[in-house]
Structure 1
Amino acid sequence: MAKVSDRSPGGHDAADEDLLLEQQLCFALTVASRSVVGAYKPVLDKLGLTHPQYLVMLSLWESSPRSVRDISEALAQEPATISPLLRRLEAAGFITRERLAGNERTLAVGLTPRGAELRQQATKVPTTMMARLGLTREQVGQLHASMMDLIAATRATAEDTPRR
C-alpha cells in the first residue's frame, strides 16, 4: 500500500505519475526541439538554408576552413550525416570542399565569398527567433545552459555504459 506522501493530489502514486506522458523529459524535449526547429524554418528559408545546413554554416562562420571531422564533432553528428549537407551547400554555392595537399583523406570545407556574405544576413536570425518565440536573451541563455548541462550529463552517462 502506498504511503499518503507517495500519492499525488489526483490520487495517483508517484510511480504512476512518473509514467505519465506529460511528465516525460524525453517527450518534452522531442516536442520542444521539433517546435523550435519548425519556428526557424520560415526564417531560414529566406537565407536558402535548412536548419541542419544553418548549423553547418554557423560552424564555418566561426572557423573556416574546417575538416569534415571537425564540423561533425562541433555539431555532435556523424561525418556520414554531415556529408550530404555539405554537398547541398556546395551546390548552392556557399562552401567549397577540397582535399588537403599531403593528406588526401582529409576534406577541407571552406566558405565561398557568397557563403561568407550570407553571414551578414544571418546575424538577424537570433533576434528574430527570440521575438518569434517570445524569449529574452537572458531566457535563451538560461535554456541554452540547461540544455548544455543535459548534454554533458548524457555524455557522462554514455561514457559510463559498457559497450558490448
Structure 2
Amino acid sequence: MRQLWTGELGIREALNLIDRLPRHSHLAAAMADDDDLADLIDEDAPAPPPPLTEWSADHGLLTIIAERLGDLLAATAQANSGKKVPSPRPLPRPETALKRKVKRRREYKRELIRDRLAKAKAAGRPTMSDLAADPMHALTAPRRRDGR
C-alpha cells in the first residue's frame, strides 16, 4: 500500500493486482460479507463460472464425481417415486474463449432463425410451427420413404 501512496505504484497497477487475488483471499471474503455490496448485485444473474486460473485437474475430477453422484441420486429418487425427477444441472466449469465463441455463434444462429420466421409470418407465409400445429397438415403432407 505504501507504494501506491508514494507514487511508485499506479492506480491501474494496484487494481490489476487486486483483480488477480484468488477467490479465497481476505478481500474476497470481506466483499462476500459486505451487505451494501450485496444490495448492488442482481440476485437473478447467474453466478460466473470459476476462473481458469484456479481450476486444476483435481477440480475437474471432483466436479465429475459430484455430477455422477447427482445422477445416481436422481436415478434413485426416480426409481423410488412415481414422479419424474428432473436431471441435476451440470456444475460450472471455467469458460474458455472457444466456448464463448461457440455460444455466440449459437446465439447468432438462433437470432437469425427467429428473424427469418418473423419475416415469413409478416409476409403471410406459413412456418413449420404453423404446419405442425395444423391437424390437416398430417393428412396432406407427403409421406417419407421410410413409411412414417
Name the TM tier (shorter chain): under 0.3
For normalisation by structure 2, the TM-score amounts to 0.24
Query: As a proportion of its length, which structure holds more strand?
Result: 1
Q: Which has the larger radius of gyration?
A: 2
For normalisation by structure 1, the TM-score amounts to 0.22
